[in-house]
Structure formats: structure tokens, C-alpha cells
Structure 1
Amino acid sequence: MKVLMFGWEFPPHISGGLGTACYGLIKGLNHHNQEVIFVVPKLWGDEEPLADFVNASDVEVDYREKKFIDTWQNLTYLEINSYLVPYLGPEEFEKYTDYTLHHRSDIDETVFSNKYQFSGKYGKNLMEEVARYALVATQVARMKDHDVIHAHDWLAYPAGIAAKEISGKPLVAHIHATQYDRAGKGGDQGPVYEMEKAGLLAADHVVAVSHLTRKIVIEKYGVHPDKVSVLHNAVLDASIIESKIKKKVPEKIVTFLGRITYQKGPEYFVEAAKKVLDRDPNVRFVMAGSGDLLNRMVERVAELGMGTKFHFTGFLKGQDVDDMYAMSDVYVMPSVSEPFGIAPLEAVRHNTPVIISKQSGVGEVLRNAIKIDFWDVDAMADAIFALLHYESISRMFKELGSQELKKLKWEHVAAKLVTVYEKLHQKQP
């Protein structure tokens, strides 16, 4: 089976769990002899050669060709319009914007026949890059022979739809997180929600990372239940990591590691920290990450008088993440709504007991963890205190958690995914 897969990032250049999940899934598919063509906006040259990588920045697209007209016009739901005339300077842009781009015949072809240099980032031009990526997908789908298309999250859904339209091959939409989770129940869903919905409805099959996410996809996006299956995430290596790093402080360390945004529940972690410190001042709390709520969390910690016991590290990656897990005596993930959440599994690998919210998908596979409602800061504080002060409880969760990891292998996830691919392929005329 040849799989044309669209993603937005790939290790070692990642911003979150999406790239890690793509890496694990491709390794699992390799285990089952599946051929993967992985398209990413920008390759950096140091990616592990696990797939036939396609650097979207190297793909030349002639925007005047007829095959791109429908794709370009269908991208209007991205709220992208004439401001995206390709590769025109200010003077050229002013000259041509009074005309409909794809119905002009008096413009030199070379103006539009160009490569687009994707940043590979999540910056201010993200929506533009998502649209360009979809146009590149049209070209790649024509260039590369494939049996099925697999698109990861909203960033790649327009690309998946474009590839399906040009090749006629079935599309699998893999949903790792939803805008409904990110924005909250009362938040503004906006164009990202519309892109997610378009991708999920256009897909021949939807893969959700948890039953929690499957429920949201069905109820909030209107996708038929028969079209949605659950494939939980896994870990790349189930062995326990024996770190040699040593703490440089005598106190116990409790860690929050993730984006400091509404979805991750950082404010509840801060409030629970205060309750723990009121009972035992010999504890240090760490908030590792960045996000729009960072300044507010810093201010709240100051208000609560915890400045000497609460540390903000900023965004961590690579070895720094491993070291943080290893130094921690407890890891807490108090997410308000978490489709899955790989971080607790990584904490368990470092022999660190975890506390997770009942509103997280990872709880469906990690049964031996303390689970609390994200809003219940009293229960969170009690759980932290118990793990710090009762060694038998901490040891029990460490041992049982490590046993559960052995069942969570990417090759098992990939085997189920191959079954999905085969069923879709068999339905093809």
C-alpha cells in the first residue's frame, strides 16, 4: 500500500505532539511494510529517512494551469483572497489585482510558475501557507503514485481534500486536536473550525486519537459515527529511562509541561500549588512552556506570594524536556479538554508518577494514574501531596504505569490503521 501523507511538522523540528505522533506512526507503518510518501511544508535536512519525503518548498506549481483553478477557488473558506497573488512585488500586485487571476490570458506565464518557500512555522502567514500547501498537494498527488491519502489535523486538511479531488483516492483525516478543545465551549471557533469541519466531512474515514475526541467529532462537527474510529497514540520506546541528571535543590519538584493556554489548564495548576505549599513549603513547582496565558500565570504566582517556590522555564525541547521529567517527583496535566496528551506517557517513561485530568484522552489507555477533574484544585492538591509524602503510593503508580507502557506500541496502532487503508482501497472502483 502506498500512502500519500500530509503533515505540518516532523522531528526533530516540532512544536508539539503532532510531529512526534507522525514520527511514531510512520515508524509503525514501516514495520508493516507500508510505503509512505510524507509531504511537509519545509524540510530541514536532518530528518530521519523513514519515508519518501517531499519538501513542499521544492515543488514548482504553475498557478495558471487549469488543474489549479478549482483548488484555488475552493480555498475561499480560508478567508484568503486576492492578497495572495503569487510572487508579485508591490507594483505588480497593484497592476494585477483588478483582474480575476485564473481567467487572465495576457499575463506572462513565468510570473505564476514558481516555488513557494514555506517557513514551516506557525507564524502570521500561517493561513497563507495552508492555502499554498493545498495547491502543492494538487501537484504532488499528480506526481506521486498512491493508493490512499492521509492528512493530519486542520493544517493539512485542505491539502488532503485537494489531493483527493485530483487523484480520486480515498482520504483519511486524522484528528489529533480540535478547535472546539482549543477555544473552549464558549470560545470563538472561527475559520480553523470551518477547515476542520470541511476536512472531516470530505474524508472517507476519520481517525480520532481518543473516544473523547470521537464524541466531539460526531456531536460538534456532524460527522456520521460509522465513519469515525479511534486509534490511541503510543510511545516510541516503552522502556524506562534511567537518567543520570541530579536535582540541584533539596525540595521535591512538581512539574507542568505544555502550552500555557486555556486548553491546558495552567491556572488550576497554580491554584493547586498554593494549597500544597500552605501544607508543605518544601516543594518547588515548575511551569515549563510558553503561551498566551504565561504573563497572567506569572502575575498570579506573584499575587499568591509563591515567587521563590515557583519557576517558569519557557519552552523546552529535546534533552531539556527529558531532564525536566527526570528531575520531577510528580507530573501534572490539568487539561480542560485534551484529545489525547502524549506528555504523561513520556513522564511515566522517566519513572515519574502522573496526575491527569478526567477530561483527557490519555486516561483511556493510562489507567494507573491519579485522575481528577481539572477544576477541582483541592483534589489536585491532595493528589500532589499524597504522591510527594507517601512513598508506597508513588512507587505503586510508577510500577503499574511502566507495565502499561509496554502495551502502547506504534506498530500496534499502525496495524489497525492498515486495516482502515485496506477497507478504503477495496471500495475503490
Structure 2
Amino acid sequence: MKALMLSWEYPPRKVGGLATHVYELSKALAERVEMHVVTCNFPGALELERVGGAIVHRANVYSAPSPDFLTWAMLMNASLLRAGCELAAGGRFDMIHCHDWLVAQAGIALKHATGMPLVATIHSTESGRRHGIHTDYQRVIHEIEGWLTYEASRIVCCSWSMVNEVAGLFNVPRDKIWMIPNGVDPETYRPSAIDQPLRDKYADPSEKIVLYVG
């Protein structure tokens, strides 16, 4: 199987949790399928590299002046679409997987241009982020999200609350949505060794240390 994943975030470009999600997911999927990730360029990052088995392609985003983030996102989609078409011309993919509205246009266009099925992961919605749709700017993003849920053959959400939100906002049949929760690789958080001098700064050897964040 050969899959093409689209995401505007990928390390070292980290804006929210999406970069980590796509990095870990693509790395895990690459153990079983030929995985290609198409994302946008970032200063100092390689245009083409293999990361944990996944092949990462960073497209140069058109540098035309962008009055707002939405305009920049449209330019980015044109760049990702071009990169995706070039990859598809070199050999057919079995599926496209795009993450959120930010890459929706590229994913939808690739679907129709190549005949490949489209899967979309919806991590959050504009209505959920803004507690409703209040401006025309937000309406555009909301409509793109709805368009993506319509065009996708399957939708992935990471929680049941998001399943309910997507189904309610965009009138999506429940059997079209898969709930696949996020996971944690415990090896990432298992220390290879204890830094004893550092530990001694905070606690006696007989005491336990609890880290609290929040």
C-alpha cells in the first residue's frame, strides 16, 4: 500500500499538536505501508528526507504577499497540490490523507485529479475554536471544513466529543466517521538514566518526585 499524507505542520514546523500527531502517525504507518508526507517548507529543513521510514517532501510555498492567514493558506494549498501532483505522476497512490481545513483544497483537488480516495482527520473545528461562527472570515473556514467532510470517503476524529461535533455541524453520517484516539509511545518518556546530581537538587534519595503541569 502507498499513502500520501498532507499536513501544514510537520517538525520542525510546530504550531500546535498537529505536527507531533502527523510525525508519530506517519512514522508508525511507515512500518506497514509506503508513506509519503507532503508539507510546507521551513527554514533550515530539508526539502526531501526520510524520517522514521516516512518520506517527507517539503514544498516551497509561493511567497506572494498575504494580507491574512487565510490568503497564505490558499497559496500553501497551491504549492502542496503541485507537489502532490508531481508525486502522483511518478506512481499511483492508494489513498490521500489530509489533516484539517488547512490542506483541504489540495487534498480535494488531488482526489478528483487522480481518482484516489480521500481520508480526512478533523482535529478541531472553527466553530469549536471560536464558540460559534461570528464573522465572514470564520464562515469561510467553516465552509471549507464542511466541504472537506463531504468530499472525504472517511473522516477520522480523535475523541467521541469531536465525532459528535463534526456530525452535528456538518450533518455527517455517523458510519462515515472513525474515532481513533491519540496514543503515547511510553519509550519517549522513559528516561535512559537518572541524572542524580539534578535529582539531588530537589529531593532526598528516599523521596519521590511528582511533576505537575497545569
The two structures share one fold, judged by TM-score above 0.5 = yes
| Kept in 1: contact 2:122–2:156 (CA 8 A) | yes
Q: Which of 111, 115, 122 is residue 164 of structure 1 equivalent to?
A: 111
How far does residue 248 in structure 1 lie from its aligned partner after superposition?
Answer: 8.5
After superposition, give the CA deviation of every residue in 1:229-269 in whole Å (9 maximum; x if it has no partner).
1011112335444774569899xxxxxxxxxxxxxxxxxxx
- CA distance in 1 between counterparts of 2:202 and 2:128 reads 36
- Counting only pairs closer than 5 Å after superposition, residues 5-404 of structure 1 correspond to structure 2 as 5-31=5-31, 33-42=32-41, 44-45=45-46, 49=51, 50-57=53-60, 116=62, 125-133=71-79, 135-136=81-82, 137-185=84-132, 187-188=134-135, 189-238=138-187, 239-241=189-191, 244=195, 329-332=211-214
Query: Tell me, what secondary structure is at the counterpart of 2:186?
Result: coil
Query: Tell me, what secondary structure is at the counterpart of 1:331?
Result: coil
How far does residue 124 in structure 1 lie from its aligned partner after superposition?
Answer: 7.2
Answer with 141-150 or 35-44: which moved more. 141-150
- CA distance in 2 between counterparts of 1:34 and 1:247 reads 46
- CA distance in 2 between counterparts of 1:246 and 1:15 reads 32
| Kept in 2: contact 1:142–1:167 (CA 8 A) | no
Query: Tell me, what secondary structure is at the counterpart of 2:14?
Result: coil
| Kept in 1: contact 2:59–2:80 (CA 8 A) | no
Q: Identify the residue that residue 324 of structure 1 maps to in structure 2.
A: none
After superposition, give the CA deviation of every residue in 1:162-216 in whole Å (9 maximum; x if it has no partner).
1100110110001112112211136443211111111111000001111110111
How far does residue 226 in structure 1 lie from its aligned partner after superposition?
Answer: 1.1
- CA distance in 1 between counterparts of 2:210 and 2:11 reads 24
Q: Which has the larger radius of gyration?
A: 1
Query: Tell me, what secondary structure is at the counterpart of 1:5?
Result: strand
Query: Tell me, what secondary structure is at the counterpart of 1:206?
Result: strand
TM-score, normalised to structure 1, is 0.41
| AA at the equivalent of 1:179 | E
- CA distance in 1 between counterparts of 2:70 and 2:172 reads 30
- CA distance in 2 between counterparts of 1:17 and 1:42 reads 18
Identity of aligned pairs, percent? Answer: 30
Query: Tell me, what secondary structure is at the counterpart of 2:57?
Result: strand
Q: Identify the residue that residue 3 of structure 2 maps to in structure 1.
A: 3
- CA distance in 2 between counterparts of 1:247 and 1:165 reads 61
Distance 1:246 1:177, change over 3 A: farther
| Kept in 2: contact 1:56–1:133 (CA 8 A) | yes
| AA at the equivalent of 1:146 | F
Distance 1:147 1:211, change over 3 A: same
| Kept in 2: contact 1:4–1:38 (CA 8 A) | yes
Q: Identify the residue that residue 279 of structure 1 maps to in structure 2.
A: none
Distance 1:249 1:183, change over 3 A: farther
- CA distance in 1 between counterparts of 2:87 and 2:140 reads 25
Q: Identify the residue that residue 264 of structure 1 maps to in structure 2.
A: none
How far does residue 158 in structure 1 lie from its aligned partner after superposition?
Answer: 1.1
Q: 5+ residue gaps in structure 1?
A: 58-114, 251-326, 333-429
Q: 5+ residue gaps in structure 2?
A: 204-208
After superposition, give the CA deviation of every residue in 1:336-376 in whole Å (9 maximum; x if it has no partner).
xxxxxxxxxxxxxxxxxxxxxxxxxxxxxxxxxxxxxxxxx
- CA distance in 2 between counterparts of 1:42 and 1:8 reads 9
- CA distance in 2 between counterparts of 1:207 and 1:124 reads 24
How far does residue 331 in structure 1 lie from its aligned partner after superposition?
Answer: 2.2
Distance 1:240 1:52, change over 3 A: closer
| AA at the equivalent of 2:213 | Y
- CA distance in 2 between counterparts of 1:249 and 1:203 reads 52
| Kept in 1: contact 2:100–2:145 (CA 8 A) | yes
| Kept in 1: contact 2:5–2:96 (CA 8 A) | yes
TM-score, normalised to structure 2, is 0.77
